[in-house]
Structure 1
Amino acid sequence: MLKRFFHICVLVLLLNACGSREAQRLLDQAEAVINENSSEAITILDSISNDGLSRSQRMRRLLLLTNAQNKCDTVFRSDSIQKLLVNYYESHGTANERMLAHYLLGRAYQDIHDYPNALNNYQKAANHADTTDIECDYALLSRVYGQMSDVFYHQNLIEEDLKFNNLAIRYSWKAKDTLAAILGMAGNIAAYKGMGKPDSALSICEQASVLARRYGYKNLSAGILGGAITILVEKDSLNKAKTFMDIYESESGFFDENHDIVKGREVYYYPKGRYYLAVGKYDSAEHYFRKELREGKDFNNQNAASRGLALLFQKTHRPDSAAKYALYSYTMNDSVYANMATEEVERMKAMYDYSRYQESARLANEKSEKMHKRLMVIGFSTFSIIAITFIVIRRERKKRIAALHHYKQSIAELAKAQSEVIRLRSHGRNIETALSQAQSNIEELNNYTSELNLLIEKKEIDIEILRSDIEKYQSKETKEREIAEAKLKDSEIYHIFDKLAAKGNLPSAEEWQQMYMMVIDFFPSFYQFISSKKYALNEKEFNTCILIRLHFRPKDICNLLGVSSAYITKIRNTMMKKLFGVEGNSKKLDEEILGL
């Protein structure tokens, strides 16, 4: 029984998973067609049952369905669904979905004539648009600003209308929606007229018409030109006005087979009547003004027709009371209407500005808090990195100082040991000479020589150990050795020897030991070479090699060693054989030593 229950549960889960995947597919399909065919999108969304859907799928279905209904020009009677969407998407979904939710709530408020809340939600929708993201829905952002422009247009706030309509045009181009961009440009014609800028209105009209024709919207291109006819008549550009009228009537698609304009566009009879009035065809002008008065029953047509007739009667010198009354009535009604609309919407705009500034303050505060937290994290991280770096550098510096101290100590011990070796070698040679002169004491001297050799060997072992320590350190300091030649003449001991040579004075044993230390430090390979020739060089020969390597002249070498120039010449001639195993003169010796 338990096993059967388990199988049933698994089957239910599989069916739910399959249903969820199918629902996801249908949601994606509806979203793909919603802009081109919103009715088809509604049909697809209606076919999806909420049963088995996750919460995110149910909310996405409701968002897409409400958006599709809005695209079908559904008039919203309530804001409850849109508020539900806003509450959910404020903490879920993408930036585009949050923008859409607030946009739909704004549309609901606009339909129920709550314009302050409509504008407030349009502004919130725009604030949610992430224009730094390549996935930003610029087409939706364009619609948001277009609706804001529409609200201000119908309330006669022209500057606000123009401002937001230009934003709508900008984002239509970014969305590559050329039709929406061109329609937005055409919408600016009335705004520029209302601001008393006929040249700007005419310029934008012609630009929009040219663009519409370029992108293949022939009817739209012709329809846009209707907005320029009155301006051209008032500028006395009658030939151009006639050209625009002919294009408008033949290509816009607004006229039936009897050449009558479609219902709702009777306002065109006013600019046409104005044209005939300007060219002196008064009967035709009166015909079209009366046709508009007869067929166009709305406020705008009645006032336009009355104004046209008033102008006609004035021009034909028929100052009858009907014409005068029509002109007076139109002027008064137009003034009262404009004043009432402006006062009402100025109050609304103040409410909107207050809401907008509140929202801006909230967003700025949130941004400031985020920035403060970010700076705290960056500051702590920077401090930690600096502290760790300081500790590591300090530890490495201690190691380096210790290694340098050991290196210096090793050099001093090596120089001392080498000095002792040289003296012992010289002493050994003296003993050998004594042996040849005093055969009677040979056994005693041999024993002493053996002990001496053992002592020399021990010192040489010490030298090798010290040299090994030095070489380890020198392997880390290779780059510094490359500039040894340059640093040579700056050393203190070099300057001491240079002064002693100039005055003809001999260096002390301590000064020679300092010289050995410097040569070991600057020329370790050279020093190893001359010191490795066991019993080959006596002390003067060893020191002569060092002074040649340090670029001292033969005269200076004589002064520093306390010998004659003949002696130096002699030993330099014999040292070539000892050091390099070949015959050669003193010049050749200098070249070989300086090349080490």
Structure 2
Amino acid sequence: MALKEAEQLIDSLPDSALSILNSKEKDINHYSKKDRMAFLLLKAEAMNKSFTPMDTIKFMGDVLDYYKGHGNVTDLIKANYLMGCVYRDKGNSPLALKFFLDAVSINDSSYNRHNDELASRVYGQIGLLYHQQRIPQREIGAWKKCMHYSLLCRDTLSAIQALEYTSFAYSIMNQKDSALSIAERVYSEYRRIGETRYAASSLGTIIAHNIEIGNLDEAKKGIDEYITSSGLYNPRTGIAPGHEIFYSILGKYYEKKHQLDSADYYYRKLISSASDISSLESGYHGLLRVSSLLHNTDSVLKYASLFAETNDSANIKHSADEINRTEALYDYSESQKIAREKAKEADKLRLTVISLTFIIFIVLLLIYIYTRSQRNKRDKELREINTKYSDALIRYYRALKERESLELGLKKVKADKDEEISELKTLLSAFSDYSNKDSWDAEQSLMDHEIVRRIHKHAAQGAMLPINEWNDLIGLIEKILPDFYNFISRVDLSLTLQEKVICVLTRLHFIPTEIATLLNLTKQRISNLRRSLNKKIFNQEGSKTFTANIYRV
């Protein structure tokens, strides 16, 4: 409930959301890990949105590690973003930049329009870091991305603010035309959406340009609008802290107007309220120019000395800033080096996984090939057995016919054939677990029937029994062995179609290997079915007596 309440307030009242979370933090150890991580992620977000310094946070590393393997893409982007904010508040720009870039990389690789607002904020942070490090080319790229995502989520104000920052970047690059063009567009866009305060506060670049080219009337209009509408100027207390450089613009305007007393006044205001060495330098430089125009030699010497002094100090500061930026870049390079080493470790792990996968694939392939070869070997053995049996059966019935043709007087030939027939009976009996040789002669017409011979041929070729052949065989059994067919069709036996097929084929002297081939079953499965049928039909155990029992029906 606390999480839900804080989530509802996080955008509109982040201070209240943070207060709720702080009040519940004592119970966090009783939460599930999932809820604990969600709680901490939301707390970090509330701190960031309420401008609470995040440099004391210790838990973001655990939160980020958790969301690398859990949650959704939005959670992972947010975790990287807030980790960057922690390092931002610690003053570690390189690591902050690293996590911000990780966040946008994840967003770009798995784009979801619901993350547009989050992506806009991340690119805004990247733009500010590049601005602080004075890398304007990259800063411009970041602000353009920020604008893009701001427009996608219909945050027009943020898009215009991002555009305004690009103007500052072009100013740093001394591309004054581009800076001015963008500043004019920014002003128009603020006015278009009714943000007159933002529009007035963006006039600095335009006013400075008009002063520089001598267009003082337009400069005065801009100054008046800035003073009255920006909310940054109080007639009693002056300009808001952080915006003191506007005094320099006022001083230059009155300097151009030759109203040197007013120029002197604003340059002194700039010096008295300066919060950085650059403002002091600008103020003393302005007073130096005013003193020169007034031909006040003593003041010229005084402000020339002060200007030179602050200029030296500014140069020292700029040099220090450059050193800090260089150090930051070095730190960033070190971070990149660490990242590259981790990437190498990940590549090694990936290679190991791929190798293991390949080895497993090869093993499985070899197992498949071996199993397939064993199956083919077994099928070949069945075909050989079936072929031998079928050939013996055909030769047997052929011998019977030849014997009949020789019964009129060819006694010697008849005796030879009798001997051959006897041998074939013995051979055929070896294929079956039922060895009553006398029944072979009695069923000669059935066994030598064309349909039966055709089915034996199917078995010898390793082919399944086609449905049309089965229909023909049933018709044959119904005609020649009606009592047998009626017996296996009895309702009380409840034989399945497969069981009836096994009974019929057994009755027609098909051996188990042939039946297995015709039904596409294993020999063991046929043996089990025969054992089951022997119990169901004849109430006898085992499969050995099944054939004899079927023949007696």
TM superposition score normalised by structure 2: 0.58
Matches within 5 A, 1:568-579: none
Aligned to 2:488: none
- The CA deviation string for residues 90-140 of structure 1, in whole angstroms up to 9 with x for no partner, is 111112211211222222222222222222222222222246533442222
8 Å CA contact retained: 1:156, 1:342: no
Q: Which residue of 2 aligns with 1:149?
A: 127
Q: How does 1:104-503 map to 2 (within 5 A)?
A: 104-130=82-108, 132-258=110-236, 260-319=238-297, 320-353=300-333, 355-356=335-336, 359=339
Is 114-123 or 216-225 further displaced after alignment? Answer: 114-123
Tell me the equivalent position of 1:501. Answer: none
1:32 alignment partner in structure 2: 8
Cα distance in 2, alignment partners of residues 314 and 330 from structure 1: 18
CA distance in 2, matches of 1:153, 1:207: 21
CA distance in 2, matches of 1:158, 1:130: 23
Q: Is the 8 A contact 2:277 2:313 kept in 1?
A: no
Write the mapping of 1:557-572 to structure 2, written as runs, cut at 5 A: none
CA deviation string 1:545-566 (max 9, x = no partner)? xxxxxxxxxxxxxxxxxxxxxx
Aligned partner of residue 239 in structure 2, secondary structure: coil
Confirm or deny: 8 A CA contact 2:277 2:314 kept in the other structure. Answer: no
Q: Distance in 1 between matches of 2:50 and 2:199?
A: 25
Q: Measured at CA, do residues 51 and 76 of structure 1 come closer, stay the same or move farther in structure 2, by a change above 3 Å?
A: closer
CA distance in 2, matches of 1:105, 1:286: 48
Find the aligned partners of 1:318 and 1:104 in 2 and give their Cα distance: 57
Q: Is the 8 A contact 2:84 2:97 kept in 1?
A: yes
Contact 1:255 1:262 in 2 (8 A): yes
* Runs (5+) with no aligned partner, structure 1: 1-22, 385-596
C-alpha RMSD of the superposition: 3.3
Q: Is this contact kept in 2: 1:202–1:231, CA < 8 A?
A: yes
- Uncovered stretches (5+) of structure 2, i.e. residues with no partner: 366-553
Cα distance between partner residues in 1 of 2:65 and 2:269: 53
Distance (Å, rounded) in 2 between the aligned partners of 1:240 and 1:359: 53
Question: Which residue of 2 is the match for residue 73 of structure 1?
Answer: 51
* Partner deviation per Cα, 1:338-360 (whole Å, 9 max, x = no partner): 22212321232243255447647
**1:20-47 deviations in whole A, cap 9, x for unaligned?**
xxx3xx4234223312210122234345
The more displaced of 321-330 and 156-165 is 156-165
1:42 aligns with 2:18: yes
* Residue identity matched to 1:133: Y
Cα distance 1:238–1:106, how it changes in 2: closer, same or farther (>3 A)? same
Alpha-carbon distance change, 51 to 337 in structure 1, aligned in 2, over 3 angstroms: closer
Task: Indicate how the Cα distance of structure 1 residues 283 and 260 shifts in structure 2: closer, same or farther if over 3 A, else same.
Answer: same
Q: Within 1, Cα distance between the matches of 2:195 and 2:344? A: 44
1:188-228 Cα deviation digits (max 9, x unpaired) = 23222221111111111111111112122111111111233
How many residues are aligned here?
Answer: 358
The alignment-based identity, stated in percent, is 26
Look up the equivalent residue of 1:40 and give its one-letter code: S
> Partner amino acid for 2:282?
A
Task: Report the 3-state secondary structure (helix = DSSP H, G, I; strand = E; otherwise coil) of the residue aligned with 1:73.
Answer: coil
Q: TM-score, normalised by structure 1?
A: 0.54
Instruction: Give the aligned partner of residue 78 of structure 2.
Output: 100
The equivalent residue for 2:412 is none
Letter in 2 for 1:342: E
Which residue in 1 is equivalent to 2:69? 91
Does the 8 Å CA contact 1:162/1:191 hold for their aligned counterparts? yes
